[in-house]
Amino acid sequence: MVDFAVLPSFSQQVALPRNLLFFMHLLLLLLPGEMNSEEVRVVGPGESILALVGEEVEFSCHLSPYLDAEDMEIRWFRSRTSDVVHLYQGRQELYSQQMAQFQNRTKLLKDDIMDGSVNLQLLSIIPADEGLYGCRFLSSNFSREAVWELEVAGM
C-alpha cells in the first residue's frame, strides 16, 4: 500500500505481480498435498515379530504422519497382496478373498482408524502362520505398505 502511494504511476504494472502472488498461493495450497503423499509412510509392527503356537499376535499398522484412513482400503496380506489375511474396504470388512488359513482367526481393531491407526489380531497361531506379512493402505491417490516377518515358536 505504501508502495502504491509512493509510485502511483506504477499501479497498473503492480496489478500483474498481484496476480502472480495469487497463483503462487494456489501453488502453495496444492503442493503440500503432493509433498505429503511422498512423505506419508506406513509403519508396521517391526521387522520381525515372534508369536507362540496357540497364542495370538497383533499386527499394528499406522500412517505417519497420521491421516484419516476410514475411506481407504486396508489390506493385510502374506507374501503377495493377493494372498489376503484380512481386508477392510468401503468402510467394511470383506471376507470373500480371505485365505482359508485365516478364516475366523482375524479380528480388526479400528477404533483409531480416523487417526490412520489399525490393529489386526491373529488368533490361535499355527506353525503355518510363519512367514512374510504386510499391510497396505490404498486410496485413489495413495498406496503405501509395510512388511514384516512373523516367526512362530513352540512348534
Ligand X SMILES: *[C@@H]1O[C@H](CO)[C@@H](O)[C@H](O)[C@H]1NC(C)=O
State the minimum distance, in angstroms, from the CB of residue 103 to ligand X: 4
How far is it, in rounded angstroms, from Cα 33 to Cα 39? 10
Q: Which is nearer to ligand X, 49 or 64 (by Cβ)?
A: 64
How far is it, in rounded angstroms, from Cα 129 to Cα 133? 9
* Joined grid coordinates for residue 27: 501453488
Q: Which is nearer to ligand X, 13 or 141 (by Cβ)?
A: 141
Closest CA to 153 of 58, 54, 60, 78: 54
- The full DSSP string for 115-151 is GTEEEEEE-S--GGG-EEEEEEEEETTEEEEEEEEEE
Q: Which is nearer to ligand X, 17 or 65 (by Cβ)?
A: 65
State the minimum distance, in angstroms, from the CB of residue 2 to ligand X: 38
State the minimum distance, in angstroms, from the CB of residue 102 to ligand X: 9
State the minimum distance, in angstroms, from the CB of residue 121 to ligand X: 16
Q: Which is nearer to ligand X, 36 or 82 (by Cβ)?
A: 36
Binding residues for ligand X (CB under 6 A): 33, 36-37, 40, 100, 103-104, 141-142
